[in-house]
């Protein structure tokens, strides 16, 4: 049996073993690697548990690095060579007891002088897909979604993602926003028609002629309409959760399941009320991540995407410029760049255009406002301007990524909204949405931010599949 493989080696041999075990049990304080490397427990008898990141046997001594995911840094273990054993390999799980001491080497502040090393779980280095001292590419790691968290790069990514999540929640909480769990399954079906996932029970018990929910039900493409419900009672709300697109695309930019941060603000006066929240949130989250994940972010900025740190620093230095869509079209028309897509007024901006506009504005995030009315969905607020008829919509474009956020003021005027829904034949489907304007309607607006794109923007990571724990896209749903 596997447990028989667990081997305990102790610095003293023979009769001393029981004694040491007793001693460890009584006094060894359990410490996480992040605590140990930060100097907590110096001089104390401690126990550290984790996975071996390196093994370096020397004549008299054995050097190990042990990591438990609490930080990028591993803890150096120094042990007598007697404590070495064949199960101590890269990837194996160990429990080490010993004394935490100041390290004589400048590379790490502390090291653990081991008295006992116990291999808890072996790891055959031949079968294990990651090799000691090799820096595997993100692409290579993607083949092993169940193991890639055991590498430095992906564990850093996961710590950054967790911290960025915290930062975004904190921003909203500190600014008086209420968090709403908008639904995943919804009967709203029109906005992204053709790119929706439908949901029905699987298995033989399911009656194919009848919908489980009595109506067709889909995975949400956005929590906006449900947030708008809440905007009739709370002046600031947000949601942060998964959204879905059944896009048949294998690109580096798209996922079938991705996370969106969406916010809705009531009693707005202009788009500025939204761009302020978007910019503040971006700055606040980014500054938080840069301050709280120094080593993890450095790993990306130094080894994965060298040169990206300067871009991030530049982003945070200046206020984000605001240009109108019409100005953007002028810029594109005046440019000498050859675009694949047309740049006429009325055409949607493509990624190539967005990236050009960002470069044009100094390679920092830029807001583009007031898009052609006809490009925007029914809920976008009519600017009632002419001859160029626009809607009060805004996108935030960022270096490397293009569109990061999209938002708009919402049409709060019952009559205008009703006409628009009538024209689209949707008045009945959206009678509940019209109700929101019938009873105490207020000017309001909101936006959505693609969370994976945000991480790409901050870290410079090229492929969106490398910033989410378990990527889903057409023809791929591993695990």
Residues 26-55 that bind a copy of itself (CB under 8 A): 32, 49-52
The SS3 call for residue 349 is coil
Environment class of 396 (CB within 10 Å of its CB; exposed 0-12, middle 13-18, buried 19+): buried
* Residue from 77, 168, 219, 458 in contact with a copy of itself (CB under 8 A): 219
291 makes contact with a copy of itself (CB under 8 A): no
By CB under 8 A, name the one of 11, 42, 55, 184 that touches a copy of itself: 184
Q: Is 158 in the site for a copy of itself (CB under 8 A)?
A: yes
* 251-270 binders of a copy of itself (CB under 8 A): 256-257, 259, 266-267
Both tokens assigned to 454: 């945000």
Q: Does 57 bind a copy of itself (CB under 8 A)?
A: no
Q: Quick one: which H or E segment has residue 330?
A: helix 325-334
| Residues between 389 and 448 that touch a copy of itself (CB under 8 A) | 412-416, 432-433, 435-443
Q: Please, which residue, 233 or 314, has the CB nearer to a copy of itself?
A: 233
**Binding test (CB under 8 A) with a copy of itself, winner from 226, 353, 420, 465:** 226
> Shortest approach of a copy of itself to residue 199 CB, angstroms?
5
Query: Hey, CA dihedral for 117, 121, 126, 128, is it positive or negative?
Result: negative
Closest-CA residue to 195 (of 241, 263, 240, 257)? 257
Judge contact between 239 and 223, C-beta under 8 A: yes
377 binds a copy of itself (CB under 8 A): no
Q: Which residues contact 451 (CB under 8 A, 6 or more apart)?
A: 164, 165, 168, 240, 258, 259, 260, 261
The 10 Å Cβ neighbour count of residue 410 is: 29
Residue 51 tokens read as 């996975």
Which residues, 328 to 347, sit near a copy of itself by CB under 8 A?
none
Those residues whose C-beta lies under 8 Å from the C-beta of residue 313, and which sit 6 or more positions away, are: none
The interface with a copy of itself within residues 112-131 (CB under 8 A) comprises: 120-124, 127-128
Q: Which of these, 322, 300, 295, lies nearest to 312 by C-alpha position?
A: 300
Q: One symbol per residue from 82 to 101: x for binding a copy of itself (CB under 8 A), - otherwise; what is it?
A: ---------xxx-x------
Among 215, 307, 338, 374, binds a copy of itself (CB under 8 A): 215
Residue whose CB is less far from a copy of itself, 355 or 453: 453
Count of residues that bind a copy of itself according to CB under 8 A: 115
Residues 440-469 that bind a copy of itself (CB under 8 A): 440-443, 468-469
Question: Counting contacts by CB under 8 A, is residue 147 touching a copy of itself?
Answer: yes
Interatomic CA distance for residues 350 and 342, integer angstroms: 9
Chain-centroid distance of CA 311 in Å reads 19
Query: For a copy of itself, which is the closer residue by CB, 14 or 194?
Result: 194
Among 57, 241, 346, 377, binds a copy of itself (CB under 8 A): 241
């Amino acid at each position: 049996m596997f447990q028989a493989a667990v081997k305990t080696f102790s610095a003293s041999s023979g009769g001393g073993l029981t004694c040491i075990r007793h001693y460890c049990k009584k006094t060894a304080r359990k410490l996480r690697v992040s605590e140990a490397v930060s100097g907590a427990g110096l001089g104390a008898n401690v126990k550290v548990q984790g996975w071996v990141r390196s093994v370096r046997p020397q004549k008299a001594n054995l050097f190990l690095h042990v990591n438990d995911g609490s930080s990028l840094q591993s803890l150096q273990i120094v042990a007598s060579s007697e404590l070495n054993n064949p199960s101590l390999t890269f990837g194996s799980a160990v429990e080490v007891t010993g004394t935490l001491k100041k390290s004589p080497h400048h590379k790490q502040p502390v090291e653990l002088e081991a008295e006992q090393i116990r291999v808890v779980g072996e790891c055959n280095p031949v079968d294990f897909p990651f090799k000691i001292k090799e820096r595997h590419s993100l692409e290579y790691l993607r083949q092993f979604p169940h193991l890639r968290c055991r590498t430095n790069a992906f564990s850093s990514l996961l710590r950054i993602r967790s911290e960025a999540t915290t930062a975004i929640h904190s921003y909203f909480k500190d600014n008086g926003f209420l968090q709403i769990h908008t639904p995943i399954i919804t009967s709203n079906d029109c906005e992204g028609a053709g790119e929706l996932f439908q949901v029905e029970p699987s298995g033989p018990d399911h009656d194919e002629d009848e919908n489980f929910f009595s109506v067709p039900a889909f995975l949400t493409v956005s929590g906006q309409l449900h947030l708008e419900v809440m905007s009739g009672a709370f002046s600031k709300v947000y949601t942060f959760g998964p959204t879905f697109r059944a896009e048949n695309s294998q690109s580096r930019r798209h996922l079938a399941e991705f996370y969106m941060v969406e916010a809705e603000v009531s009693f707005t006066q202009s788009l500025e009320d939204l761009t302020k929240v978007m910019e503040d949130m971006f700055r606040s989250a980014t500054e938080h991540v840069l301050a709280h994940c120094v080593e993890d972010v450095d790993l990306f900025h130094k080894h994965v995407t060298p040169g990206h740190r300067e871009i991030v620093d530049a982003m945070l230095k200046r206020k984000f410029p605001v240009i109108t869509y019409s100005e953007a079209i002028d810029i594109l028309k005046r440019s000498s760049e050859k675009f694949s897509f047309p740049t006429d007024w009325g055409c949607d901006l493509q990624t190539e255009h967005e990236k050009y506009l960002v470069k044009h504005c100094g390679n920092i995030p830029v807001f583009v406002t007031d898009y052609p009315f006809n490009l925007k969905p029914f809920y976008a607020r009519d600017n009632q301007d002419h001859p160029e008829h626009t809607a009060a919509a805004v996108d935030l474009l960022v270096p490397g990524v293009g569109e990061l956020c999209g938002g708009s003021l919402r049409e709060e005027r019952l009559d205008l909204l009703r006409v628009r829904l009538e024209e689209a034949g949707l008045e009945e489907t959206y009678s509940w949405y019209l109700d929101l304007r019938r009873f105490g309607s207020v000017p309001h607006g909101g936006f959505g931010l693609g969370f994976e794109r945000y991480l790409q923007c901050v870290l410079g990571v090229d492929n969106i599949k490398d910033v989410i724990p378990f990527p889903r896209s057409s023809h791929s749903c591993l695990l």
